[in-house]
Structure 1
Amino acid sequence: MTARREAEARQAILEAERAALLAQLPAANARALAGAVETRQFGAAGLVRAFDLARQLAAEVCATLPAGEEIVLHDPAASQGVLAARTVNDALVRMGEDMARRNKELQLYIDTHTPPGAVLATLSTALTVVPAVLRASADTASLFKSDVTAAGLAYGEGARALFASALAESCPQRVAGLGSGYLGELDTAQHERLLGRLRSLAAHRADYANRIALLQKLADNAKGEEKKELSAVAGAAGAALKAVDAFVESLKAGEPGDRSPLHNAARYLGYANRTAGAAVLDVDLRLEGMSIVRDNLFTGQKLRLSGIALLWYRLHAPDGSVRFARTLRRMAPPVEVDLRGDGGQALFADETAPAPPR
């Protein structure tokens, strides 16, 4: 009897222990969660590691640059803008010189064909205002249209801008230009120089228009073959005048900001002057932050952060020759962050940037 009771007691204890153990286990239809890369909750967290990698790489690049030389970051859009700006500037200079030459030739022609004692009245000074006679068939604004595209990277399109800023932070005295962003458009010196050339062209254009009018008056008073000749010369001169009007109108000097090719030309010419003679650093960068959240029924969420950077760059002389090239690969070791405590405080603590030079 006693043995039977002891057996029942042991059975009851075993069933109780079994019930307690089953209570701790998940339901039969529950499955352990696989680790997953989750960017919706902690997508920006991994970028912290990528951010640090960018700064590290910038310091390494600065250390490889030739001593005592300035560099400029190559940017296709900025290079295209500089070339277009030089085209606008050269066209202004060339047209101004051409109109001055044409004025002399036309005045000599008028003097030759003016009858002795004839007095030709001059036109109103209102002609000194450049009119919009003909819209340019090839608008100068098209020079500043670009087909340059930037592929979206894991860090976003700001990866290159981040590296450029990190480079300027690491060696500010070595960087003459970053190729994008603010290029000095608030500096009015270059803009005033271009406006001066435009005003000079407008003055030559006004004188030329006056002489065409005088020539037309001579043609009206002439007869026979002389009348035909004078009219033909006046017509050819008028065609040259329309070409100047079309070019001046295409510059849109009165338009504000980026809508004016003249404004853009001044912007890029100033940038070209500041970076003249500097070596060109051509950079390609892939920057990715990895945030890995692993969910587990027993241990809960765990966050691991890492980052990877692939950098390849070439240093060119201004004439385009390659001075040297490098390829770099960096991967930040994964760091585990305790989401239930302060384990990641040191990783995410704000870094105090050095005070800017005064």
Structure 2
Amino acid sequence: MAKPVHAQPSTELAELRARQLEAETRQAVAEAERAELLARLPPAQSKALAGTVDTRQFGTAGLVRAFDLARELAGELCAQLPADRQAALYDPTTAQGMVAARTVDSALSRLSSDMAAKNKELQLYLDTNRPPGSGAAALPLAVLAVVPATVRAGADIAALLRSDVAASGIGYGEGARSLFASALAQACPGRISGLGAGYLGELDWARYEKLLGRVGALAGHRAAYAGRITELQGLVDAVKGEQKKEFAAVAQAALAQLKVVDTFVDSLKAGEASEKSPLFNAARYLGYSERTAGSLVLDADLRLEGLAIVKENLFTGQHLRLSGVAFLWYRLHEADGRLLRAEALRRITRPVEVDLRGTGAPDTFWSGP
């Protein structure tokens, strides 16, 4: 049987169509790849990518450089301190606590002396006017009516010890000043007598017992004074007329003094050995005051900031650079306030490039294993 004439042209036509379809497919894939590449590249008329700056990522890492700056500045400041004198870092809360503690100590001593003198005055008044009507008052009423200034000042001591004085930091956070204090103590421990805020040492019980003894002495004078007031009130009941009015006025003035003394003693909370007791706190601050006696006063403030820069580029990828900024200003005083030295310093570190895979920064930047 003869072969059909049209069979060979049909096969060739199918092959041609297959090659055409394959070519169209390759062209479509190429156009798709080109479109994808063009979408990623900038327009032809624009400049090459300069990279983007983003400080929202890795912000904490920049504080590492600020931390290093704080330690460097502490070493520089230590070199400026006199070699033959120690210095105590000024802290508002601690300074106020020391002043209040000295006031408590002084007030207890003076108030005991005042009450002893008032006891003598009141006893002399009673002796002179016993029995009732034997004579005029030996002491002017004003002598007994005056409330000692020490008592009036002492009444506010408890509130002074409870006042809230806060020193806040910026940039690095409230820990910046504490960090710098620790760096100072590390750089020159022999020249720093006190760091102010923080641990003030264990309570010196001998000093606390001494304060309790003064409270006890004051309580003894107070009890004697109360007994004399009771006797005076008995005289008030036994007399009449002008003398009765005079005795009553003296008794009222003495009771007013007694009330102020009671308020002062109650505010000390002498029976409570905790931070809620002003007397307990006074003993601790007196100890700190003795340890820092004769020291220079170093008033310093520090601002730390860390800068993290992330640069992303299409061709070079992402790069992390870290820098730190520090501003330090300090004043060195004698305890009486005389200024010995003042200086303001600022430091900015060169950015360190960090590869998050562990290379790209010097070995000193990374923590040990």
**Shorter-chain TM-score tier:** 0.7 to 0.9
Matched, 1:89 2:123: no
Number of equivalent positions:
322
TM-score where L is the length of structure 2: 0.76
Aligned position for 2:306: 289
SS at match of 2:247: helix
SS at match of 1:235: helix
Letter aligned with residue 54 of structure 2? A
Match for 2:52 among 27, 30, 34? 34
Match for 1:257 among 266, 274, 299? 274
Aligned position for 1:172: 189
Query: Is the 1:282–1:315 contact (alpha carbons within 8 Å) kept by the matching residues of 2?
Result: yes
- Aligned pair in 2 of structure 1 residues 213, 138: CA closer, same or farther (>3 Å)? closer
Aligned position for 1:128: none
Letter aligned with residue 182 of structure 1? Y
Aligned position for 1:122: none
- Aligned pair in 2 of structure 1 residues 347, 297: CA closer, same or farther (>3 Å)? farther
Aligned position for 2:285: 268
Who wins on radius of gyration, i.e. which is larger?
2
Aligned position for 2:63: 47
- The Cα offsets for residues 270-294 of structure 1, whole Å up to 9 and x where unpaired, read as 2222111111111121111112222
Matched, 1:109 2:125: yes
Q: C-alpha distance in 2, partners of 1:211/1:100?
A: 12
Letter aligned with residue 94 of structure 1? R
Letter aligned with residue 291 of structure 2? R
- The Cα offsets for residues 6-39 of structure 1, whole Å up to 9 and x where unpaired, read as xxxxxx9999888766555544799966221024
Q: How does 1:162-311 map to 2 (within 5 A)?
A: 162-184=179-201, 186-255=203-272, 257-311=274-328
Q: C-alpha distance in 2, partners of 1:219/1:145?
A: 42
Aligned position for 1:321: 338
Q: C-alpha distance in 2, partners of 1:185/1:113?
A: 53
Letter aligned with residue 314 of structure 1? R
Query: Is the 2:169–2:177 contact (alpha carbons within 8 Å) kept by the matching residues of 1?
Result: no
Q: C-alpha distance in 2, partners of 1:81/1:306?
A: 39
Identity %: 59
Aligned position for 1:333: 350
Aligned CA RMSD, in angstroms, stands at: 3.4
Q: C-alpha distance in 2, partners of 1:190/1:211?
A: 32
Query: Is the 2:203–2:283 contact (alpha carbons within 8 Å) kept by the matching residues of 1?
Result: no
Letter aligned with residue 332 of structure 1? T
- Aligned pair in 2 of structure 1 residues 106, 207: CA closer, same or farther (>3 Å)? same
Query: Is the 1:37–1:294 contact (alpha carbons within 8 Å) kept by the matching residues of 2?
Result: no
Match for 1:74 among 90, 104, 113? 90
SS at match of 1:294: strand
Worse overlay, 56-65 or 249-258: 249-258
Q: C-alpha distance in 1, partners of 2:28/2:302?
A: 64
- Aligned pair in 2 of structure 1 residues 217, 16: CA closer, same or farther (>3 Å)? closer
Query: Is the 1:185–1:266 contact (alpha carbons within 8 Å) kept by the matching residues of 2?
Result: no
Query: Is the 1:303–1:337 contact (alpha carbons within 8 Å) kept by the matching residues of 2?
Result: yes
Query: Is the 1:280–1:316 contact (alpha carbons within 8 Å) kept by the matching residues of 2?
Result: yes
Q: C-alpha distance in 2, partners of 1:45/1:318?
A: 40
- Aligned pair in 2 of structure 1 residues 226, 183: CA closer, same or farther (>3 Å)? same
Worse overlay, 239-248 or 253-262: 253-262
Worse overlay, 139-148 or 72-81: 139-148
Worse overlay, 23-32 or 195-204: 23-32
TM-score where L is the length of structure 1: 0.78
Unpaired segments of 5 or more residues in structure 2?
Answer: 1-24, 133-152
Q: C-alpha distance in 1, partners of 2:246/2:304?
A: 71
Q: How does 1:121-132 map to 2 (within 5 A)?
A: none
Query: Is the 1:301–1:339 contact (alpha carbons within 8 Å) kept by the matching residues of 2?
Result: no
- Aligned pair in 2 of structure 1 residues 344, 286: CA closer, same or farther (>3 Å)? same
Deviation at 1:70, TM superposition (A): 0.5
SS at match of 2:189: coil
Letter aligned with residue 86 of structure 1? R
Letter aligned with residue 70 of structure 2? A
Query: Is the 1:279–1:318 contact (alpha carbons within 8 Å) kept by the matching residues of 2?
Result: yes
Deviation at 1:145, TM superposition (A): 4.9
Unpaired segments of 5 or more residues in structure 1?
Answer: 1-11, 117-135, 353-358
- Aligned pair in 2 of structure 1 residues 154, 332: CA closer, same or farther (>3 Å)? same
SS at match of 1:181: coil
Letter aligned with residue 97 of structure 2? G
Q: C-alpha distance in 2, partners of 1:55/1:351?
A: 18
Letter aligned with residue 304 of structure 1? R
Q: C-alpha distance in 2, partners of 1:312/1:191?
A: 38
Query: Is the 1:74–1:280 contact (alpha carbons within 8 Å) kept by the matching residues of 2?
Result: yes
- Aligned pair in 2 of structure 1 residues 112, 258: CA closer, same or farther (>3 Å)? same
